[in-house]
Amino acid sequence: MKTCYTEETMCGRFGISFAREQIEERFGAKFEADFFTPRYNAAPSQALPLILNSEPQASKFVAWGLRPAWMTKISKREGIINVRAETLRDRPTFQRDLAERRCLVLADSFYEWKKAGKQKIPYRIALKSGEPFAFAGIWEENKGEDGNP
């Protein structure tokens, strides 16, 4: 099971709603799976399309969020979904990932929230051109509960 986490410039929700063919053409990477379901509200723990540095011609579906080995001892922790770019190089947890396992997280928009009294209002942010883009990410391969990668 491969998992990914992204730099802090990325928020907790984003969208990837283009047609599969448009995404493949934009990034020059073919989807491994025969299916692609657009997501307007991609969330942590979901399998989302990435391009891994180990296979730049393929787009794979990878779970968003990472639970490093040291975190398995901490109960009730979902895992890491974002990492601050400012401290990424300084944190031992991410040094090997940064050096060896980089990826592109495919998107066409992301969401930021603004407080309005007691409510939070989501704002969808996209490129003016409307084309898909990518966030920088780092990935890691973990073993699932069944012991398989």
As a whole number of angstroms, the distance between CA 48 and CA 65 comes to: 11
DSSP state of 81: -
Distances (CA, A) of 112 to 26, 31, 38, 45, 115: 25, 28, 20, 19, 10
Of the candidates 87, 8, 13, 89, the one whose C-alpha atom is nearest the C-alpha of residue 44 is 13
Q: Does residue 103 have an active-site annotation?
A: no
Terminal Cα distance for the chain, rounded: 5
Single-letter residue type at 74: I
Q: Classify the C-alpha dihedral 146-62-48-90 as positive or negative.
A: positive
* Catalytic-role residue among 112, 131, 140, 141: 112
117: left (phi over 0), alpha (psi -120 to 50) or beta: left
* Catalytic-role residue among 11, 24, 140, 145: 11
- Residues annotated as catalytic are 11, 112
